[in-house]
Amino acid sequence: MKKVFTFIMKPKVDHLALTEISQNPGVKYIMDSSLVGLRSSIENIGRPDIILTDTNSMALLSEISDLENVEKKIILCPNEQANSEIDYIEISKIDEYINSFLNLGRSFEKIPLNFFYSMEKASVDIFIRLQKQGQSKFILRYAKNDIIELSDLTSYSEKGMVDLYVKSTDKDELYNMLSNSLCYEIGVNDSLDAMKNGLELSRSLFLESGYTPCSIQLIEELNTSLFNRLEQEASSSSEAELLQSILSSKDSLYYKKVALQMILGMDILKKEDWSMDRHFELYSFISLFADIALTDTKMGLISTDDEYDKSKFDEMDAEILENHALLAFELLANYEARPINVDLLILEHHGMKSGIGFSKNIGVGLNKIVVIFRIAENIAIEMLKKEESGKSFFMDEILDLVEKKFDSPRTRKILDQLELSI
C-alpha cells in the first residue's frame, strides 16, 4: 500500500478535489494540518511515498528529518510551474499524476510462493513473472476463485521459483485473507508451517503498514504458540536434534534465527530462579519482533560494532540497520496490548539505551532478559554463520566465539549454564 500524505497548515486549496485519492484502494491517504499531527501520522503509519503541500507549509517540512528521503514532494497550486526538485501540480490533475507516479493499477507486488500453500482457492488474480531480455512480463496463472493445486506450487518451488505476484491493488485483500487463514491454522490446528508463514507475513505487514488489526492478530497468535510448538518438537527428539534440523532446513533466515534464539534463550531463562510466566512471554515477544524493522534478513546476522563496521550494506540500509531497535520501539509504542515494557527491552536489545548502534558490552545496566536475549541471539548468529559456510562445528566452539565477542564474566556464567543443557 502506497502512502500519500497532505500537509497544509491553513488550507486554501479545495480539499474536496483530493477526495479521489482517498478513494483509491492502492493508497493510504492521510491529511494533516499541524506538525504534531504529521509527526504522529509518520510514527503510526511510516514515511509517506508522496507528500502534498502548499508553498507556505513547505518550509515547515524541513523540521521533520524523516521526510528528507520522501520520494516525491508536490506543491499543489492553481497552475503548473517548472521546478527541478519539487513538482508543482494543478489540483485537478493530482489524482492522475499520483496514479501514474505510483504506477497504480498496472504494478504488481511480489508475494512469497509459500504463502499460497494453505490457499485452496485463489482469493485474487495471481500471476507468475517471466523475464525476457531484461523485461518482466506478468502472466495470469490463477484467476480469482480458481482452484490452486498444491502439486503445481511444489513443482514451481522445485524449479527455483520463490515468488508469485498479485496486482498492487489486490495486495491488502490477499493479506487480510492470508492473515485470517494463518491465525486459524495456528490457533486451531497448531500448524508449525502456518507459524513460519505467519512470521514472514507479520514482517511484511509491519514493514508496509505498521500495526494493523491483521498484524496484531498474527503477533498475538505467534507469541502464544511458537515456543510451545518448538518445545513439542524438542520433546519428540532432543533439543540438539531440533537445533540441527532448524539449521539445515530450507526455512527463511528470519525464521531460523527466531527459532534458535527462542529455544536457546528460553533454556537459560528456565534456569533462572527469578523467572516467571510473564518473563517467558516477554522473551518470546523479543525473540519474534526485535528485528521486525530490518529490511533484509541478512542484517539480522550483525550484532556488534565491529560486524556493523565491516558490513557492506548501502547507505540507506546501513541507516536502517543502525536504527532498527529504535524503529521497532517506535512501532511498538502504538500497540497498546503489548506485554508491559517489551518496547523498552526491544529498544535496548543491542545494548544501547538509545536504540541506535551496537554495544561491545554484553549488558551493563541492561535488564537481565535483554542480556539473555543478547547471548542467545549471538549463539544463533554464530551457528547460522557456520552452517552457511558449510563447516561442521561443536557447540563449545560457538560458545567460545560468543564469549570473545563480549568479554565479561557475566557472559561466561550464562554460557556455562547453557553448556550444561545442550
- Closer CB to Fe ion, 200 or 291, in the complex: 291
- Closer CB to Fe ion, 267 or 291, in the complex: 291
**Least gap, CB of 245 to Fe ion (angstroms):** 24
How much helix, strand and coil, in percent to the nearest 5, is found in the chain?
Answer: 60, 15, 30
**Least gap, CB of 283 to Fe ion (angstroms):** 15
250-279 per-residue burial string, b: 16 or more CB within 10 A, e: under 16: ebbebbbbbbbbbbbbbbbbeeeeebeeeb
Distance separating alpha carbons of residues 302 and 304, to the nearest angstrom? 6
Which DSSP category does 129 fall into? E
List all residues 6 or more positions away from 142 whose beta carbon is below 8 Å from its beta carbon: 122, 125, 126, 148
- Closer CB to Fe ion, 57 or 287, in the complex: 287
For binding to Fe ion (CB under 5 A), which residues are involved?
291
> What element of type H or E holds 183?
helix 171-189
**Least gap, CB of 324 to Fe ion (angstroms):** 6
List all residues 6 or more positions away from 78 whose beta carbon is below 8 Å from its beta carbon: 90, 91
Position with the least CB separation from Fe ion: 291
Do 51 and 70 meet the contact criterion of CB atoms below 8 Å apart? yes
**Least gap, CB of 294 to Fe ion (angstroms):** 7
Do 366 and 352 meet the contact criterion of CB atoms below 8 Å apart? no
**Least gap, CB of 323 to Fe ion (angstroms):** 11
**Least gap, CB of 297 to Fe ion (angstroms):** 11
How many whole angstroms from its chain centre is CA 408?
A: 32
- Closer CB to Fe ion, 49 or 291, in the complex: 291
